[in-house]
Structure 1
Amino acid sequence: MSRKPVRRDDPDDADAEVIPLTSRAQRRGRASAGYDSPRTLILQISHVRTDAEAHRHIGIDDSLHLSDLQHVIAVSFGLEETAPWKFDDAGERIEADDPLHLHLGVAGDHILHTWGLWEFTVTVVDSWARDDNTPRALCVGGSGSFGGTRFNLNEINAELTGEETIEHVLAGTVPPVSELVERSGLYDFVPLLQALDLRRATYLSEEVRRRLAELPLEDDAAGRDAFWSSTLALASLSGADFAEHVLETIMAALGWIDDDGSRLTAEAAKALCASSLEVLEELGAAGEDVLSPVDRLDLYRELLRYRPHGE
């Protein structure tokens, strides 16, 4: 079949992910762990019952207060913030205006959050030094419904972030991608771009940087849109099926359809940018023989970050 896509409209989206928890270190807090500067905490927040369980994974600034964490939990689980709530540490109630780092510092640190009659365990999965470009609070994954509210990563992060954040994130993104987000109206990808931390240093050879800078190789509008849509799908680090769904969703939202008027499939979209995807496969960013997730993220950051004055 010839590839001559045309435009029309049709947005769609979905997301979910689970981050495993294995650390069991005892609670110490940031200072006792030897850290004296703000850090990003990755928290697993869990509600477990005999008949069901729900988990959310949150990246959050440890300088924020417990009251801020309560708001993030409420948004992430769809809770009514008017219900009574509290935090406990080792059986003792702790103050809502305490900064997180007093109670949560290293993997395994945990506290208990009570909302009405429900309890949520808050456990540190990981932490690292933060910078000014890291989101203050972001849901990075989760599973399970709570109170009839289905887990929806995009809706959660849309509420946690605002217009100012959207503008800031897109300003740090390569123009074709920021324009793609605006044209498609799929602002659900802003949290993904924010979580990628595009300003973080990447450790790539000059040869790899050069090859990435040449992309996309396609010079037609459909091929370039297909390439950047594929890059966003790959950067989500999801399974192949979901990545294809993401690709099809973006291309549909951009108005591309197949030459017979049907929805453009992922296979057809990838055929539009086959030369560029071949380069990504050679670099280990796509295909079956890929690099580790950490190494792939460096490649995606290099592709997606905005470099002023052609830096």
Structure 2
Amino acid sequence: MSSTLYRSDHLAPVIRLADRRACATLLVRVGLVSDEVVYRWVGIDESTTIAECCRVVGEVFGVHDVGADAAQEQLLADVLPTVGDSTHFSKGLWSFEMQLADIYPRDESTPPSVCVAGSGSFGSLPFDIAAVNARLMGQPLAATDGLRPEVRDLMARAKNHDFAPLLQALDVGAGARLPGLPVESDRRSRDAFWAVILANSCCAGSDTDVIAEGIMTSLGYEPLLIDDITALCTTSLTRLDEIGGGRSPVEMLDIYRQVLRG
């Protein structure tokens, strides 16, 4: 996968909730041809038709009536069967290349399409990843209702991250709560704890550390490596490990939900 994903101006945490492959999410890079600065990273259900992909491309760039080189009735998985394959979409004289970068297993809660990163404005409006995902999902995202106020505040301050897709996949909602964490009292250490929790909730494997580091940077702190971040909240993370009792990363998701509800 191109490293431009991690140099993007705006990021939504990666969602990789299950190892089974009942269906797959195709991670694609959609870029404005002839302009390397304007691009969007999008996760799309492999069974999406090219006709629906036209809508997705239109939503992430804020335009309508997008056309495609491939036939409208074809499935994206058939048009982009192998990493590196590409297809093109167009709006007037503008051309957009969609290239397959990676394939992930998807969970039944994963949205049909979600913008996970992007850079550059197309037209007069700046790129707003939260607004893009609200359009893609067809409704305003109000997934923070069940969250602790402290977590909602952190998400509001991490302006370069869109946590809505993650919260929708986690289905935080109502349910059991796990109060008492974090135990640290200063804001920086508590932010570090929540950055680790949110990153771990993504079940992103080797990408988890990068996500936590990006969240802390987005909160306005100097760039920190994961070891520096975890050192700020060692006591809380140790208690969380004791509560988890050796659960797998996927099994820990219910613990994370309870902590986020507080």
Aligned to 1:59: 43
User: 2:195, 2:212 within 8 Å by CA — same for their partners in 1?
Assistant: no
Preserved CA contact (<8 Å) 1:231 1:300:
no
Alignment counterpart, residue 181 of structure 2, candidates 184, 206, 215: 215
- Relative to structure 1, is the Cα distance of residues 153 and 163 closer, same or farther in structure 2, using a 3 angstrom cutoff? closer
CA distance in 2, matches of 1:164, 1:150: 19
Structure 1 equivalent of residue 257 of structure 2: 305
Deviations along 1:162-203, one digit per CA (max 9) or x if unpaired, are: 558644x766xxx43xx445578839799426348548xxxx
In structure 2, what is the equivalent of residue 74 of structure 1?
58
Larger radius of gyration: 1
Cα distance in 2, alignment partners of residues 36 and 131 from structure 1: 8
**Which amino acid is the alignment partner of residue 217 of structure 1?**
V
Following TM superposition, by how much is the alpha carbon of 1:239 offset from its aligned partner in structure 2, in angstroms?
A: 8.3
Instruction: Name the CA distance, whole Å, in 1 between partners of 2:140 and 2:69.
Output: 34
Give the structure 1 partner of residue 98 of structure 2: 122
Is 1:246 aligned to 2:219, yes or no? yes
For 1:230, the aligned partner's letter is A
The TM-score normalised by the length of structure 1 is 0.52
Question: Is 2:123 the counterpart of 1:147?
Answer: yes
1:19 aligns with 2:5: yes
Give the superposition deviation at 1:157: 2.1
Q: 1:166 to 1:38 in 2, by over 3 A?
A: farther
Unaligned runs of 5+ in 2: 7-19, 172-177, 200-209, 224-229, 240-248
Query: CA 1:36 to 1:216, structure 2 compared with 1: closer, same or farther past 3 Å?
Result: closer
Question: Which one of the candidate residues 8, 14, 24 is aligned to 1:39?
Answer: 24
Instruction: Give 5+ residue unaligned stretches, structure 1.
Output: 1-16, 21-34, 200-211, 249-264, 267-273, 284-296
Kindly provide the CA deviation profile for residues 60-91 of structure 1, in whole angstroms up to 9, marking residues without a partner as x.
Answer: 11222223222221221122x1x4x32114xx
- Relative to structure 1, the CA distance from residue 213 to residue 102 in structure 2 (aligned partners, 3 Å threshold; closer, same or farther) is farther
> Aligned partners of 1:163 and 1:189: how far apart in 2?
21
SS in 1 for 2:51: helix
Question: What is residue 277 of structure 1 aligned with on the other side?
Answer: 233
Instruction: State, as a whole percentage, how many aligned pairs show the same letter.
Output: 23
Q: Residue 118 and residue 231 in structure 1: after superposition, are their counterparts in 2 closer, same or farther (change >3 A)?
A: farther
Report how many aligned residue pairs link the two structures. 214
Check if 1:86 corresponds to 2:56. no
TM-score by length of 2: 0.60
Render the CA deviation track for 1:107-155: whole Å, top value 9, x for unaligned: 1222111111111111111112212121221111122222233333233
Question: For the Cα contact (< 8 Å) 2:193–2:233, is it kept in 1?
Answer: no
